[in-house]
Amino acid sequence: MSLKQSAYQSEKKIIPYLFSSLMWCGGALILLIFLGLIFELCWQGRQAFSAFGFHFITSTTWNPGNQEFSAGTALIGTLVSSFIGVILALPLSFGCAYCLNELLPQRIARYITAATQLLAAIPSIILGMWGFFILVPLMAHYVQPFLKHLFGPVPYLDLLFSGGTFGVGILTAGLILAIMITPFITAIMQEAFANTPTMLKESAYSLGATKWEVMHQVILPWVQKGVVGGVVLGWGRALGETMAVTFVIGNAHHVSWSLFMPTNTIASLIALEFSESAAGSLKMSSLMALGAVLMVISFFVLFCSQLLLKQVLKSR
């Protein structure tokens, strides 16, 4: 064997080994970063967990003067505002994705898709400023009074639409989150719609199926995984959103049944209080514990989505 052939054989053996080693290192590095982040949050928040115990999760008290901190108010605000955002964004995203893939001509859909992607690129602080100067006055003068007048006489629903109509509140935060996560959910659903086999749709149309029947009985079962993935991605983005929510939620340590009342979320509370907390203090430890709680919520949402996805795939 010549020297050239020997070098070629050695290179042929080394390159796959280097490639596999780099891939293993990349995967291990991501895992180490993930575990390190969890450990750091839990370690820095150990003082709060030790001082308040499980009461840190269930209580709604946040009183820095008395050194009383808890995650209850921010936890409820985070879950409710993100849920409202997902509920509002889901039909809009689904309709937009279906329209772009199935109804509009491609020469028009191309520009609308680009506009949707540009919406996803808008910084959250810009959306927060827009929400504060445009959306909050609209909510205060038109939307909230209308909802209060419409649902005020309805038993039980009147609790959700009671209180002052100041524009800020958890409903406004949900609207901002819906605007923010719609492009992400739309992009994933659009990709799922595009991957639906054309033969299945054409076969359904040839049998006389309407667009509704094709969407409901052919496309939707095929794209269920993409729909679930899009919702999970959007919900994860909504759970951790900070600046846009901070501008419009009111930032009050208050829990109420009303969607008009100001409250806060875990992310907005950390953003507002972090710079005012001394290193090593109980307040700083509580903020770090809030970060750990937010991560647990995100993991729980992902876990539930995986269970839901398995049930969906079993039923097909």
pLDDT in tens, 279-300: 888 999 999 999 999 988 888 8
In the CATH hierarchy, which top-level class contains the domain 46-315? mainly alpha
Contact 128, 244 (CB under 8 A): yes
pLDDT digits (tens, 9 = 90+) for 73-124: 999 999 999 999 999 999 999 888 888 888 888 888 888 888 888 888 888 8
Spatial distance between the Cα atoms of 75 and 69, rounded to a whole number of angstroms = 13
Positive or negative, the Cα torsion across 100, 102, 103, 105?
A: positive
Contact 44, 282 (CB under 8 A): no
Token representation of residue 188: 């994933």
Give domain limits for the chain: 46-315
User: Tokens 């923010």 appear where?
Assistant: 180
Contact 124, 241 (CB under 8 A): yes
Positive or negative, the Cα torsion across 110, 114, 117, 119?
A: negative
Spatial distance between the Cα atoms of 283 and 35, rounded to a whole number of angstroms = 24
Spatial distance between the Cα atoms of 202 and 211, rounded to a whole number of angstroms = 11
Under the banding of pLDDT at 50, 70 and 90, the label for residue 26 is confident
pTM of the full structure: 0.86
